Structure 1
């Protein structure tokens, strides 16, 4: 078994999270002040060895992910690297909405993905297969690039990382909790097992005991 650990970390809070807006188009909004505190707390936990020695730090092209990675990097003395393909689920016609019908429609599609219906799609947006087609190759590349071990952190997005993590471990080891939300700067920790991945930890809470946001996605 490889000594590699992959930490899929969610970004810090944004105003869209507070307003419960479906906000998925790049580059997206910046972090709030609380979001910056959450990111710094994530960095401190990682620097203290919570997931082993961090040897590389990556982030999605979204502004909120880049800002989170920059704050984490200050604690780790690492240069963050942007990778494409790991941005949030694209919700199409639901973009910018925060009304209950839109939120219910978004959750229905994500719930269908988590029960195996990857062909379900947001109206004018992505299906589960679309998400996996762009996200999973990045994870495979990071696994190959860091085959010698260490902890690799990828700052990404709540719905995307939750669905991808479940799919990666679905057939190997213990599957993750299907309905477990990942709060701002929460994280999912995986390690290689055979040709797949094994779940190490599903840390859904905000690090450092900081407040959580009852948001939808981002």
Structure 2
């Protein structure tokens, strides 16, 4: 299955660099709405059979234009919501304590899944809920699925599950709003990242699974405008 993991459009709390992970969360800024409207054209070459979104408002607003363009309903699932910030909720993501959020998430991706976000979920819980939605989509028989999710969740899940992406790669590459990670594989056979925000991902060699991006042109790229953040890209 081809799996397109799409970060939602810009929100007011993205602009303020806050760890905003609670349901239902804010809507989109005017820029975020334009980014969502650009997705159907940006993904025009993808034969998408299903469109998923998390239980947060921002992902559903982002997914709506893409689903409408394909004549599909948006399938809402809690499992692909953002990594819960717990006691770190609404802290600045680039503050000393706020940086603990991404350090914890990437520790999960590196294998320390028993570690718990302060006042929040463990890596075992977070990865399991994301796995369950991906498994549901794979079992549906769809050949290509778009899942509109969240920056930290996409980066951590990809680093944990893609054979050719490791924590160092994902940690160095925050996703802009409506950035896309394209995966291929299945829950049983494993996953490989094909591209990350428009750059082809290739293995660096036999020393490990670290990915390396190679620039590639992308027709109809989504409208952008928010700079990379030190926070969770939530």
Bucket of the pairwise TM-score, normalised by the shorter protein:
0.7 to 0.9
Count of residue pairs brought into register by the alignment: 207
Superposed displacement of residue 168, structure 1: 1.7
Question: Which residue in the other structure is 1:168 paired with?
Answer: 161
SS at match of 1:24: coil
Match of 1:112 in 2: 107
Q: Gaps (5+ residues) in structure 2? A: 200-219
Q: Which moved more, 1:17-26 or 1:122-131?
A: 122-131
Cα deviation 1:126-151 (Å, max 9, x = unaligned):
222121121101111111112xx532
Q: TM-score, normalised by structure 2?
A: 0.81
Q: Which has the higher helix share?
A: 1
Structure 2 counterpart of 1:208, from 195, 218, 222: 222
Match of 1:72 in 2: 66
Gaps of 5+ in 1: none
- CA–CA separation in structure 2 for the residues paired with 1:92 and 1:130: 13
Query: Paired residue for 1:39, among 18, 36, 43?
Result: 36
Per-residue CA distance 1:2-37 (angstroms, 9 max, x = gap): xx2111111000001000111111000001110111
| Alpha-carbon distance, 1:77 to partner | 2.8
CA contact (8 A) 1:114 1:178 kept: no
Q: Is the 8 A contact 1:61 1:83 kept in 2?
A: yes
Which residue of structure 1 aligns with residue 9 of structure 2?
Answer: 12
Comparing both chains, which one has the higher relative contact order based on Cα–Cα distances under 8 Å and sequence gaps of 6 or more? 1
Measure, in 1, the Cα distance between the counterparts of 2:137 and 2:194: 17
CA deviations on 1:45-98 (whole Å, 9 max, x unpaired) are 11x21xx21111111110001100112223333221112211101111111111
**CA distance in 1: counterparts of 2:198 and 2:112, whole angstroms:** 24
Please tell me whether the aligned partners of residues 10 and 185 of structure 1 are also in contact (alpha carbons under 8 angstroms): yes
> Any residues of structure 2 matched to 1:180-199 within 5 Å, and which?
180-192=173-185, 195-199=189-193
Change (3 A) 1:204 1:13: farther
Indicate the larger mover: 190-199 or 18-27: 190-199
Cα 1:93–1:204, aligned 2, differ >3 Å: closer, same or farther? Answer: farther
- Secondary structure class of the residue paired with 1:197: strand
Segment of structure 1 superposing worse, 177-186 or 58-67: 177-186
Contact 2:176-2:224 at 8 Å conserved across structures: no
